């Protein structure tokens, strides 16, 4: 199928079966998230992948009763960085200069510009910006998963602090932003055959 057929095929799965996603496929999905574009290339978030059944069971208590968190093959959690500082930006530019074989500090001007933009934000503004970048990664994950015929259900309905506690995210300077259950749809999931509801392209898109 082409990409539009894949996007029409996908839906927000309500019931997963017990089939597990192969490790090679999971690694491809992780790589798709890693390769997602982000502002300035900073990637101000991390990806946590949960397959352990006991951990998923613990997270269920903070998932508003959504059993797909427990029943899915793998749970992807995008967690935004809660503090962006000089060290974080310096490390990014050191890596950039190394990978592109540039002279040390040759990107000083651009680095100063990025620091001015990012570090002048308040802490809540930094977190909001980081979360926006994480949602871009979520979109990429959903598209690649659909192309590979992996079912998914993105969710914002969960208790971030509970997830932070279970996964120890606060000690890592992270907070859970959005989650995505991945696996294979169950034959009993009635929503699989439901007509996809979207407004028409003429209503959706304004061409100028």
pLDDT band at 3 (very low <50, low <70, confident <90, very high): very high
The arithmetic mean of pLDDT across residues 77-106, rounded, is 96
Residue 94 has pLDDT above 80, yes or no: yes
What pLDDT is attached to residue 141?
98
The arithmetic mean of pLDDT across residues 42-67, rounded, is 98
What pLDDT is attached to residue 25?
98
The arithmetic mean of pLDDT across residues 190-199, rounded, is 94
pLDDT band at 206 (very low <50, low <70, confident <90, very high): very high
The gap from C-alpha 60 to its chain's centroid, in whole angstroms, comes to 19
Dihedrals phi, psi of 14, to nearest 5 degrees: -105, -30
Residue 95 has pLDDT above 90, yes or no: yes
pLDDT band at 1 (very low <50, low <70, confident <90, very high): low
What whole-number distance in Å separates Cα of residue 35 and Cα of residue 27?
Answer: 12
What pLDDT is attached to residue 145?
98
The arithmetic mean of pLDDT across residues 170-197, rounded, is 96
Task: Set out the domains of the chain in order of their start, with CATH numbers.
Answer: 3-84+122-204 (3.40.109.10), 85-120 (no CATH)
Query: Helix (H, G, I), strand (E, B), or coil: what is residue 197?
Result: coil
What pLDDT is attached to residue 198?
96
Q: Is the dihedral of CA 190, 195, 199, 204 positive or negative?
A: positive
pTM, two decimal places: 0.95
Average pLDDT score, the chain: 97
The arithmetic mean of pLDDT across residues 42-56, rounded, is 98
For the chain, percent of residues with pLDDT exceeding 90 = 100
Per residue in 123-181, pLDDT tens?
Answer: 999 999 999 999 999 999 999 999 999 999 999 999 999 999 999 999 999 999 999 99
The helix (H) or strand (E) run that includes residue 8 is helix 3-9
Tokens representing residue 142 in the block: 């959903």
């Amino acid at each position: 199928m082409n990409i539009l057929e894949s996007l029409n095929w996908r839906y927000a799965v309500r019931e997963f079966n017990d089939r597990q996603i192969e490790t090679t496929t999971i690694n491809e999905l992780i790589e798709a998230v890693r390769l997602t574009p982000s502002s300035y290339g900073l990637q101000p978030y991390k990806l946590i992948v949960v397959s352990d059944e006991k951990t998923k069971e613990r997270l269920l208590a903070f998932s508003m009763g959504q059993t797909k968190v427990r029943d899915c093959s793998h749970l992807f959690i995008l967690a935004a960085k809660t503090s962006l500082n000089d060290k974080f930006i310096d490390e990014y530019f050191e890596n950039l200069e190394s990978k592109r074989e540039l002279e040390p500090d040759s990107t000083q001007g651009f680095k100063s510009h990025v620091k001015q933009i990012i570090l002048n934000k308040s802490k809540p503004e930094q977190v909001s910006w980081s979360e926006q970048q994480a949602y871009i990664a979520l979109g990429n994950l959903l598209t690649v998963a659909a192309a590979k015929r992996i079912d998914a259900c993105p969710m914002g309905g969960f208790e971030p602090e509970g997830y932070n506690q279970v996964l120890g995210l606060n000690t890592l300077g992270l907070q859970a932003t959005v989650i995505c259950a991945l696996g294979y749809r169950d034959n009993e999931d009635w929503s699989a055959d439901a007509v996809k509801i979207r407004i028409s392209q003429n209503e959706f898109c304004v061409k100028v």
